[in-house]
Amino acid sequence: MLRYGLIIWILTYASLSQVKSQSDFWTMDGTIIKHDYYHFSDSLSEPIIYELQGEDGLPVWFGRKVYKDVCETGECKMINIWLFWDGTGNYSGFQIEDKEPLTKTDHDIFQENDYQRLHQLLADTNSVLKFLSQEDLTIGPFEDGTVDAYTSATQPSLAQVVVKDAVYTCYTLWHLVYGEIRQHILSILDARINSEYLQKMLLSKKPEHSIWAIHSIMRNPVYHKYFNLQIINLIRLENASVVNAAIQYTESLLQLDSIEQVELLHTMVDVNLNTKHRVLRLFLQLQSVDDVIITSILDQVLNESLYIYEYNSIIRLIKPHHLFQGNPIGEYLEQLSRHENPMIRDMTRKYLALNR
């Protein structure tokens, strides 16, 4: 392991002022880890994946310097670029040295807006380029047997997606970002999976770490019992991506024990109305729901802190035995049968009439 500050010049081959960058990757503090990597598809590139780890030992980013030929219509050229992924293998950005800018088919160099478009393209995990082969990128040959490699060659459907006159470069870089290099990064992370590492990633302040941990735990049921409560608790967070991952994880469980159900219920107090109703739907899909949970949900209906239209689903949680005299759930239904809202009142009376 080498301290970042000691190797920045060696790694970048240029000062930061000479580098075109989507982020200040090389100014971040941490420890550099080197991972051996070689793949025949870009055998000219440096056979190393670099990882920057923060003081907590968690990955900040992964990076690789790529030197690769881009075969275009009639010629091949080389691209020299640093590609970066975040600490969980998601594309983050790139760096280009000013003395080796990216160029187009007509040899014009990329301008600032071209780099911005390239970055947007590479950030699109479902780009149309995902589904195309290199042969799909251009039109031709024309009737005279030629292909206009400078302007008209790009498929019209791609014109608004790729950098103008640089379709092959865009295609090559997109498949590098989402290809074998990324898969190797993911395998590095998977090899670290254990209770301690998952705990650190789950409680990290970086949303991507928490989301990676949630997805990893979902794929490894042996860890469920250790992390269910923590993941349910993450539904309280403000970060929508983490909340969504936590809800999706909880959906996958199908059944929660009494303690987990209470924890899930408590999240409804601290979240916005949309998340509250997503949590409610989690209860509706469970194989069984504890009476104390049903009582609390009916109380929220009574006080109109849930959308009324959800009541038609909520009432399905109630079973005939809940209607026995003295059962709190039955008592709530009696109150709801006199509710001032006609929709709640009518649905409750209809249910009682059919099940008594």
Domain-wise residue ranges, the chain = 2-185, 194-355
Contact 311, 350 (CB under 8 A): no
The pLDDT value given to residue 11: 39
pTM: 0.83
User: Under 8 Å CB-to-CB from 212, ≥6 apart: which residues?
Assistant: 87, 88, 89, 189, 201
Give CA 247 to chain center in angstroms: 14
Tens-digit pLDDT profile for the chain (356 aa)?
Answer: 333 332 333 333 333 333 445 567 888 889 999 999 988 888 888 899 999 999 999 999 999 999 988 876 656 788 999 999 999 999 999 998 878 899 888 788 999 999 999 999 999 999 988 888 877 787 655 444 444 444 445 666 677 788 988 888 999 999 999 999 999 999 999 999 999 999 999 999 999 999 999 999 999 999 999 999 999 999 999 999 999 999 999 999 989 999 999 999 999 988 988 898 899 999 988 988 999 999 999 998 998 887 788 888 898 889 888 888 788 999 999 999 999 999 999 999 999 998 87
The pLDDT value given to residue 5: 32
The pLDDT value given to residue 9: 30
Radius of gyration of the chain (CA): 28
The pLDDT value given to residue 224: 95
Are β-strands 2-3 and 75-86 bridged in parallel, bridged antiparallel, or unpaired? unpaired
The pLDDT value given to residue 17: 32
Half-sphere exposure of 150 (CA within 13 A, CB side): 3
The pLDDT value given to residue 263: 96
The pLDDT value given to residue 226: 95
How far is the C-alpha of 39 from the C-alpha of 33, rounded, in Å? 19
Phi, psi of 65 (to 5 degrees): -90, 120
Opening angle at CA 58, ends 53 and 61, nearest 5: 50
Burial class (CB in 10 A: 0-12, 13-18, 19+), 342: exposed
Q: Which fold has domain 194-355?
A: Leucine-rich Repeat Variant (1.25.10)
How far is the C-alpha of 199 from the C-alpha of 25, rounded, in Å? 26
How far the first Cα of the chain sits from its last, in Å, is 72
Query: Within the chain, how many helices (H) and strands (E) appear?
Result: 14, 7
